[in-house]
Amino acid sequence: MEDLLQKVTSLCKRRGIIFPNSEIYGGIGGFFDYGPVGVEMKNNLKRYWWKNMVDKREDIVGIDGAIITHPKVWEASGHIENFGDEVVECKKCHQRFRPEDITDKCPNCGNTEFTEPRSYNLLFETEVGVLENSKMKSYLRGEACQTIYLDFKNVVDSTRQQIPFGIAQIGKAFRNEVTPNRLTFRTREFEQWDLQFFVHPLYIQTIWRNGLNIGKRKE
């Protein structure tokens, strides 16, 4: 499996699909650049998604939210407290793994002894402002969808949308993964394509029954 992934990784590089970021300085774990072919593939998919998800539907609108929000957002969402990742460390080679990534042996050295799982917060910290006494600690968004909720009222007030309707967004999110690996399968910077659909709680049963026809209004 690892061999196959290595083949895919070097193919992606040779063909200009995905490059490791900062490669001339030895690379930086969990960050990748899309090359000339990769960016076209990604943009094609994005355009297709947006066209079908937003442009063709009257009950869905889009936003493009900021990456940094007020830190209270992440307090309220529970991310500061709970956005963690469990990690165990091999007692011999000190490589770190997610518990679900190992069976009984260390994939690196074959040792069978690990530390107890420890929890790490995945939010990327940053500082807003430059003056020492007025800096505010904030976070790069760990999930893109928060801005959809934050902008909900502004969207309602500025468009003709009424529930049921949806808000879509394509945007960057960041997670300080403790064990970034496997090409773009687990990265620290990535893009999320979100659709949040808002309905009145009383209609949930009906919508559940009608499945994908949620957006088709009876009028």
CB of 182 to Zn ion, least distance (A): 18
Q: Residue 57 or 98: which CB sits closer to Zn ion?
A: 98
How far is the C-alpha of 29 from the C-alpha of 177, rounded, in Å? 9
How far is the C-alpha of 216 from the C-alpha of 55, rounded, in Å? 15
Residue 87 in the binding site for Zn ion (CB under 5 A):
no
Q: Which residue in the block uniquely carries the two structure tokens 């300085």?
A: 25
Q: Residue 76 or 93: which CB sits closer to Zn ion?
A: 93
For the chain, give the DSSP string. Answer: -HHHHHHHHHHHHHTTSEEETTGGGT--TT-EEE-HHHHHHHHHHHHHHHIIIIIT-TTEEE----SB--THHHHHTTHHHH-EEEEEEBTTT--EE-GGG-SSS-TTT----BPPPEEEE-PEEEEE-SSGGG-EEEEE-S-STHHHHHTHHHHHHHSS--SSEEEEEEEEEE---SS-BTGGGB-SEEEEEEEEEE--GGGHHHHHHHGGGGG----
Give the binding range for Zn ion (CB under 5 A) out of 38-46, 66-74, 86-94, 192-200. 86-94
Q: Residue 93 or 136: which CB sits closer to Zn ion?
A: 93
Residue 111 in the binding site for Zn ion (CB under 5 A):
yes
Query: What track of x and - describes contact with Zn ion for positions 36 through 75 (by CB under 5 A)?
Result: ----------------------------------------
Q: Residue 17 or 178: which CB sits closer to Zn ion?
A: 178
CB atoms inside a 10 Å sphere around CB 204: 10
Answer for which of 93, 128, 136, 204 binds Zn ion (CB under 5 A) is 93
Residue 109 in the binding site for Zn ion (CB under 5 A):
yes
Residue 90 in the binding site for Zn ion (CB under 5 A):
yes
Residue 115 in the binding site for Zn ion (CB under 5 A):
no
Answer for which of 6, 44, 52, 108 binds Zn ion (CB under 5 A) is 108
How far is the C-alpha of 102 from the C-alpha of 94, rounded, in Å? 14
Give the binding range for Zn ion (CB under 5 A) out of 21-29, 98-106, 137-145, 201-209. 98-106
Give the binding range for Zn ion (CB under 5 A) out of 24-32, 75-83, 90-98, 113-121. 90-98
Residue 168 in the binding site for Zn ion (CB under 5 A):
no
Q: Residue 112 or 119: which CB sits closer to Zn ion?
A: 112
Q: Which spans of this chain sit near Zn ion (rule: CB under 5 A)?
A: 90, 92-93, 106, 108-109, 111
